A and B are shown apart, each in its own frame.
Chain A
Amino acid sequence: MVRSEGVAAVPRRRSWKRFVDRNYVLLMLLPSLVIMIGLFGGGLFSAVMQSLGYFPLVGLTKLTLRYYVELVTDSGFLRSLWFTFYVAAASTLIASVISTFVAVNMKRATGGKWRLMMIYKLPLAVPYMIVIVMAIVTLSGGGILARVLYALRIIQSTQDFPSLLYTSSGAGVIWVYVWKFVGFMTLSIYSVYVGINANLFDVARTLGASTWRTFWHVTFPLLLPGIVSSSLICFAFSFGSFEVPLVLGPSFPNTLPVFAYVDYMNAAKYSLADVPLPMATMVLTSVISVLVMLMYRNASERLKVIKGGR
């Protein structure tokens, strides 16, 4: 069949084949690179360019750092930055303590039954928007928690119930993150925990160490890289998450993504020349997230060393 195509076709086929062989890796990666560099990278690039004042639609073409200077001297931005840090740190810290406790005691407390263990993984499967609805029906002034407390005569009216949603304490937002993170962190810490050589616990016990001492001196140091790397993922995630603080956060100061979104909508409605400001906010938020990701990489490399040394 091939031969009937004629002599000239053979070398051309060969050179095409050689081209494919030589660039095999690149060709296989090409479609995904179009998405990752074209779409994802392009989206980021567009945000960066706009934050630097390049917005030809309204005649802005000169690159400037003006908007960044404006931001870091703006008290609204700084208060939102602080609120974002506070919410991310608080939810990550609370979730990491609960998750470490659950992961370490999982086998003993559940007897290894997968149906019971699954309860602690359930948060992984529930979408954020649903957890937001759960927070509203549970924690709001008219929510189920307030009703139960009223029925038990612990509170006398809705006024006695502390407002947990839409407040600057960020309680509702933190609750949603903790609820979700416990599923993810428990699973990651548990997978490190089951990898620890069980002989180490026996050795510690025969040497007379108490449960508590064994935890602090044997278990915890071995779990630490796993705790740190999953904490960093959660921290970076809550730092950049949008819908939870959009629905449950206070109107001001809210987290940076919401701050940027409100700015952007105002700019789109009233003055397009202000679009660079929310873009600069999101670029700064991304820079912080990238720094956290680099820390994650360090932590997970250390984790690999520990797992490999097992």
Chain B
Amino acid sequence: MARSSSATRSKKASFAVKMLFVLIALAILMPGIPIIIYSVSHRWLWPDVLPSRFTLDKWAYVFSPVSQVMPALVNSLIIGLLVSVISAIIGLPAAKVMGQRKFRGKAALEMLFLSPLIIPETAVGLGVLVVFIKLGLANTMLGVIVSHLIPATPYMIRMLSAVFEGYDSNYEVQARSLGASPFKVFWYVTLPIIRPGLVAAFLFVFLISLNNFVYSYLVGGGLVITLPLVVFNYASHGGMDLAVASAASIILTAPCIALLVISERFIKEEYLSLGMSR
């Protein structure tokens, strides 16, 4: 008797849990739907739940040369690519010693590499801005690239040092003892071993740059337009500009979700949570 009642209770409980899971899943998925509808709507007047007419005009506009979206996309790609390459070159040697060596001050360095994730970007951004104005870097693409290195470099180092932690440096020793130059050792031994981790780090840093708003906004000063800025511009106007903002949003989100799916299969989860937390 008691057993059967506890069984129905636990059945009821697990049904409630499943319902709550469905509700939470809906709360996560549903808000994305109006963005998709907006991007193909002609007009969407109150109180229509669906627009009366659908059109691809907004997409045509987004891809036309008169809209800001295409130049912003190009800017974002250039900035993201350069930030990833530069931070990889800077981060690789640091990650190697952080992952493989024990030395004095290592714990302090770990804190240093963690701090750009915690200290508000606005504080560093406003501080950097004044210096950049003096150096002529404000309102330039170069300035935006340099400022993106602030969040990108420590992230690259954290990800790559995790790769180097599980890496056997005896291969390098063997190559060296066989007479390979340090460059050859790096090119033919180190690089092939760390390549999967390096590719992952590269992609995530690219996304960090692609999605950065604060540094682009402050240092770019509205003159260097990137994708998040263009979404911001259209979204803050409201009205039918929301349709353009929606189309641009989809362009910006697509690579991010693609990466989530890829990383789900191929990349360790902790990278993901680290990278996406900002």
By the criterion CB–CB under 8 Å, are A50 and B130 in contact? yes
Determine whether the beta carbon of B131 is less than 8 Å from that of A43.
yes
Partner of B154, one of A36, A46, A129: A36
> A241 contacts which chain B residues (CB < 8 A)?
120
Q: Which of A74-82, A176-184, A216-224 contacts B (4 or more CB under 8 A)?
A: A176-184
Determine which of B14, B93, B131 lies in contact with A31 in the assembled complex, contact meaning CB atoms within 8 Å: B93
- Check A285 against B273 for contact (C-beta < 8 Å): no
Bound Cα distance A104, B7 (Å): 20
Is A303 on the interface with B (CB-CB < 8 A)? no
Bound CA span A27–B92, Å: 12
Known contacts A29-B93, A35-B149, A46-B128: does B235 contact A282 (CB below 8 Å)? no
**Also in contact, A39 and B90, with CB within 8 A (given A102-B21, A133-B249):** no
A295 CA to B20 CA in the complex, in Å? Answer: 32
Please tell me if the beta carbons of A126 and B257 are within 8 angstroms of each other in the complex. Answer: yes
Is B103 at the interface (CB under 8 A from chain A)?
A: yes
Encode contact with A along B243-255: 1 for CB under 8 Å, 0 otherwise: 0011001001100
Count of chain B residues near A, Cβ 8 A = 90
Q: Mark B217-252, 1 if CB is under 8 A from A, else 0.
A: 100000000001001100110100010011001001
CB closest chain-A residue, reference B29: A119
Q: Which residues 58-115 in B have Cβ within 8 Å of A in the complex?
A: 89-91, 93-94, 96-97, 101, 103, 109, 111-115
Asked if B273 and A108 make an inter-chain contact with CB atoms under 8 angstroms apart, the answer reads no
The answer to whether A121 touches B260 (Cβ under 8 A) is yes
> In the complex, how many angstroms separate the beta carbon of B244 from the nearest chain A beta carbon?
11
- Contact between B120 and A242, CB atoms less than 8 A apart: yes
Instruction: State in angstroms the CA–CA spacing of A151 and B124 once bound together.
Output: 47
Asked if B277 contacts A233 (CB within 8 A), the reply is: yes
Stretch of A4-12, A61-69, A140-148 that contacts chain B = A140-148
Closest chain B CB from A129 CB (angstroms): 4
Q: Among residues 25 to 54 in chain A, which have CB atoms less than 8 Å away from a CB atom of chain B?
A: 25, 27-29, 31-37, 39-40, 42-48, 50
Say yes or no: is B127 at the interface (Cβ < 8 Å to chain A). yes
Q: Are B47 and A150 in contact (CB under 8 A)?
A: yes
Chain B residues with CB under 8 A of A130: 35, 231, 249, 252-253
Q: Which residues of B contact A142 (CB under 8 A)?
A: 46
- A118-B260, A247-B232 are known contacts; what are 11 more A-B pairs with Cβ within 8 Å? A43-B150, A128-B211, A129-B252, A133-B231, A133-B245, A134-B31, A135-B31, A148-B49, A240-B122, A241-B120, A285-B120
